[in-house]
Amino acid sequence: MVDKFLNCRYAKPNAKYALICFPWAGGGSNFYAQWGRQCPDSVEVCGITLPGRESRFRDPCTTDADQILQDTCSAIYKKYCNTDIIFWGHSMGALYSFETALLLKKLHHKEPVRMFCSGISAPHAPERKHVGQTVNDMSEEEFVEYLKKLGGTPEQVLSDPEMMTLFLPPLKADYVMMEGFKSPIGVDPPLSCPLHLFDGQDDAKHNLKAWEDVTSGKTTVQLLPGGHFYPKEPSNQSFLISYITERLN
């Protein structure tokens, strides 16, 4: 299962840190796996590969949030039980990384030494309260309209029937899975690690301040040029990789 879930393109056997990167909705792991080339030998990078995409294309997409979280924690702990871990997640990946961090702490008493979350309101923020029809109950046509209203999905994907045939199943599965992310935030923050928050300057405004409730550690906010998919810009990628690795020294 480790090999299925964790895409590590540049193995670094003596690395002190493992940077685990969680995909955005419908996304894969290859985008992040190549970050390993730019990271120092002290940082090994792994992208999370969910079923139904890339090397797991033949695996059926799943909407079972509990099972995905269990499998993710198992894969991470099996490979990195003796390594300091760092989590990065953009959009859905930020929520996914947070839920994974909570479960990893619960099951194995292991917490990321730092978390980097991007492009989405905090999981408990009022902006994330879902009203009306759930994604699971939507037809394909209704789901496409929902994506258009929501924003964040490239227009070239939404307007191309062939691309939608390829991307719609994992994309919808991920949105349904997100509806299953329901860990409550109590009075006391569930995490203690430093939390670094990012957003695109031209993206829809997200409630980043609410993320402060999830950790007793220090939080910082950084805005970068671009819209929702600002991490795809080469200059932003280079900045993010440098920013993350510099804070591990």
Q: Is 179 left (phi over 0), alpha (psi -120 to 50) or beta?
A: alpha
State the SS3 of 87-112. EEEECHHHHHHHHHHHHHHHHHCCCC
Cα separation, 158 vs 61, in Å, equals 20
First to last CA, the chain: 31
192 given a catalytic annotation: no
CB 49 within 8 A of CB 56: yes
Cα separation, 135 vs 174, in Å, equals 10
91 given a catalytic annotation: yes
Cross-strand partners of 199? 223
Catalytic residue, candidates 91, 97, 118, 121: 91
Catalytic residue IDs: 91, 228
